[in-house]
Amino acid sequence: MGTENITYNEDSIRSLDWREHIRMRPGMYIGKLGDGSSADDGIYVLVKEVIDNSIDEHVMGYGKTIDVDISDHKVEIRDYGRGIPLGKVVDCVSKINTGGKYDSKAFQKSVGLNGVGTKAVNALSSYFKVQSFREGKTKLVEFERGILQKDARLAKSNEREGTFIVFEPDNTVFKNFHFRPQFLENQIWNYAFLNAGLTIKFNGQKYHSEHGLKDLLSNKTSEDTLRYPIIHLRGEDIEIAMSHTNQYGEEYYSFVNGQFTTQGGTHLAAFREAVVKTLRDYYKKDFDASDIRASIVAAISVRVQEPVFESQTKTKLGSQNVAPDGPTMRTFVNDFVKKHLDDYLHRNPQAADALQKRILQSERERKEIAGIKKLANERAKKANLHNKKLRDCRFHYDDKKGERVDDTMIFITEGDSASGSITKSRDVGIQAVFSLRGKPLNCFSLTKKVVYENEEFNLLQHALNIEDGLDGLRYRKIIIATDADVDGMHIRLLMMTFFLQFFPDLVRNGHVFILETPLFRVRNKKETIYCYNEEEKQKAIKRLGSKPEITRFKGLGEISPEEFGKFIGEEIRLQPVIMDDKMSIQKLLSFYMGKNTAERQNFIIDRLRVEKDLVEENL
């Protein structure tokens, strides 16, 4: 088509108002959208933006309690700070570049997005209400998708001062969304750990911390997995907690001004470097950095003036200095760790000895693997040239290359028929397929040596590019796609065992999912409904009436590519694999994958529900 008839003049230039821009480009403000199956999906960012403002009030000395109530689709947050100035309530939630945090004296080390946070929540909510209580008066306003619907007059009030916000995320933006309690609970706990003395009441339960990051690590680990007691160090504008465990991988929790920087940044890089340097100096041995950091679990929190982040959602710190005229982040963190960690180890020789033994163990394991690693890598390269196990996608996971790449995923399937259906119906730009051959090995209690000795595991780790950690991970989502039968469930358990045993960071960081596919197809001549469980099937039968045709899918291979495209596109249903922070991985795997057959049988029988019971409930 030619361009000769296209007119470019004053009428071609359009200015978007604040709400139109947010709704047209939501990723600029809250990152990716999602349906709530990932901890960094947009609906959790909306919750964060509102709570951040309440936290800032607490940090300034106003309000020791925040009430948070969240159902599947609705959020209510009440703080007891000073309340938004009554004459500026509308402006604060509907005018970009309006807020109190531009006054650097009042909010030198604040959390929230300057002048943007609640505006994004407002624009992306089908319903948004804010009510301020201040000086014996109250002001209430209501919006729909950022458009003002109600602007009530000032009224008298006996309520405690503070702000009350209610919102419902717009389901035309966040499709098929619902809040998952586990992700919300993690969010709430992080606020409590970083704000000693603050109490958050979340859905009726109190969250409170007295010992900050030490409590965070205690909450994230099981005591029997720690090689030595948690080291807890506090200084001005910096707090650190750390230990080593019996598990593979590195596990970090980093924060800036109370913001959970899920992608780390300059403060975390400085900490990882400082730990290596300090321990090398203390033990007077040039240990390999990977041996020092292997199996570490740590948290770091810093307070920074005028922080610079690499994205609007503030998940990665970019600041090179702790203040405009202050030391570099690298110097600040390194000096603190060098002095205080070194002092701690001199005062606690038992902990120092246990830490050294953990490093030496990692060193032995690395050298043991080195002998077979080169050969395994050569086999993997040769296999990838000649087999069809991996059907790759065009784009790969890299948070610096744009939003679409953040949607990259790889389906791990069983057999040629299932992988064939997915391959034919997938989005080749962002969806890859890895085909398993038979049932994977039960790797419970085995060492990482088996990852290189077993061809399936070796090829999979190379396909994911996780041999040396998650920095090179090629896909945002790793999706286990197996049949909904006994064999499929067994393969699912074996794959989860593999990830939990050798790459637990994949699970901790929310990269592993289970693909939900429909069990039934209910249709008549006019309409087809796909049902994911017995309850949905019964509703579909009632809706269509007059004895519709019902098909029970026994395996993924029975679903045609045309149909499969509907289940892995925009309407994809994913169940995240979430690990209870307090649960020891070894205890978990020992129970489900160990030799305690009788105990496991009783567990299954006690929780068994047959289809007949489900049918009767819905009739």
Mean predicted confidence (pLDDT) in 238-246: 95
Q: Are residues 548 and 466 in the same domain?
A: no
Residue 78 is assigned to a structural domain of this protein: yes
Among residues 521, 609, 509, 504, which one has the least CA distance to residue 566? 521
Q: Which among 208, 229, 263 is the end of a domain?
A: 208
19 token code pair? 């709400």
The predicted model gives 13-42 an average pLDDT of 81
The whole-angstrom distance between residue 370's C-alpha and the CA centroid of its chain comes to 33
Three-class DSSP category at 232: strand
Domain assignment present for 217 = yes
Tens digits of residue pLDDT in 441-478: 988 888 888 988 898 899 999 999 998 888 889 999 99
Select from 145, 174, 204, 163 the least CA-distant residue to 45.
174
- Is 596 part of a structural domain of the chain? no
Predicted local distance difference test score (pLDDT) of residue 78:
97
Nearest to 408 by CA among 464, 346, 326, 333: 464
Averaged pLDDT for residues 218-225: 85
Entry pTM: 0.79
144 and 108 share a domain?
Answer: yes
243 domain-assigned = yes
In this predicted structure, which of 254-258, 440-444, 593-597 has the lowest mean pLDDT?
593-597
Q: Which of 163, 190, 208 is the last residue of a domain?
A: 208
Contacts 24+ apart (CB under 8 A), 331-336: 332/238, 332/270, 332/302, 333/238, 333/267, 333/270, 333/271, 333/274, 333/300, 333/302, 334/270, 334/273, 334/274, 334/277, 336/233, 336/235, 336/238, 336/240, 336/274
On whether residue 152 sits in a domain, the answer given is yes
Whether the CB-CB separation of 283 and 341 falls below 8 Å is answered with no
Per-residue pLDDT at 15: 59
Lowest-pLDDT choice from 127-141, 324-338, 368-382, 523-537? 368-382
134-143, 311-320, 535-544, range with the lowest pLDDT: 311-320
Residues 150 and 58 in one domain: yes
pLDDT bucket at 283, cuts 50 / 70 / 90: very high
Phi and psi at 268, nearest 5°, equal: -70, -40
- Max mean pLDDT range (256-265, 266-275, 444-453, 467-476): 266-275
**510 and 524 both lie in a single domain:** no
More confident residue, 396 or 586: 396
Share of the chain above pLDDT 70, in %: 85
Give me the chain's average pLDDT, please: 85
- Strands 65-70 and 75-79, sheet pairing: antiparallel
CB atoms within 10 A of CB 149: 12
Is residue 219 scored above 70 in pLDDT? yes
Least confident of 18-32, 117-131, 171-185, 401-415: 401-415
Q: Is the pLDDT of residue 411 over 60?
A: yes
Same domain, 43 and 162: yes
- The domain that contains 468 carries what CATH number? 3.40.50.670
- Which of 513, 617, 518 has the alpha carbon at shortest distance from 565? 518
Q: Report percent pLDDT > 90 for the chain.
A: 48
In Å, how far from its chain's centre is CA 146? 27
Residue 140: strand pairing partners: 131
Q: What are the Cα distances from residue 208, in Å, to 151, 218, 395? A: 36, 14, 43
SS3 558: helix
* Same domain (yes/no): 100, 123: yes
Q: Are residues 248 and 322 in the same domain?
A: yes
Could you tell me if 314 and 258 are in contact, meaning their C-beta atoms sit under 8 angstroms apart? Answer: no
Q: How many other C-beta atoms lie within 10 A of the C-beta of residue 241? A: 25
Query: Do 574 and 509 fall within a single domain?
Result: yes
220 pLDDT above the threshold of 60: yes
Burial 28-47 (b: 16+ CB within 10 A, else e): ebbbbbbbbbbbbbbbbbbb
Is residue 514 within 8 A of residue 577, CB to CB? The reply is yes
Q: Is 123 helix (H, G, I), strand (E, B) or coil?
A: helix
Range of the domain at 537: 518-552
* 330 and 225 assigned to the same domain: yes
Domain membership of residue 373 (yes or no) is no
Given 152, 176, 208, which residue is the final one in a domain? Answer: 208
Euclidean distance between CA atoms 47 and 246, whole angstroms: 35
Do residue 526 and residue 561 come from a single domain?
no
Which amino acid makes up residue 88?
A: K
Residue 376 located in a structural domain: no
Q: Which CATH number does the domain housing residue 230 bear?
A: 3.30.230.10
| Residue 292 within a domain | yes
In angstroms, how far is CA 384 from the centroid of its own chain?
A: 31
- Total domains, the chain: 4
Banded pLDDT at 612 (limits 50, 70, 90): very low
User: Which helix (H) or strand (E) is 531 found in, with range?
Assistant: strand 528-531
Same domain for 217 and 360?
yes
Same domain, yes or no: 419 and 504: yes
Residue 162: other Cβ atoms inside 10 A: 23
pLDDT at 221: 86
**Mean pLDDT highest for which of 246-250, 410-414, 569-573?**
410-414
10 Å CB burial of residue 219 (0-12, 13-18, 19+) is middle
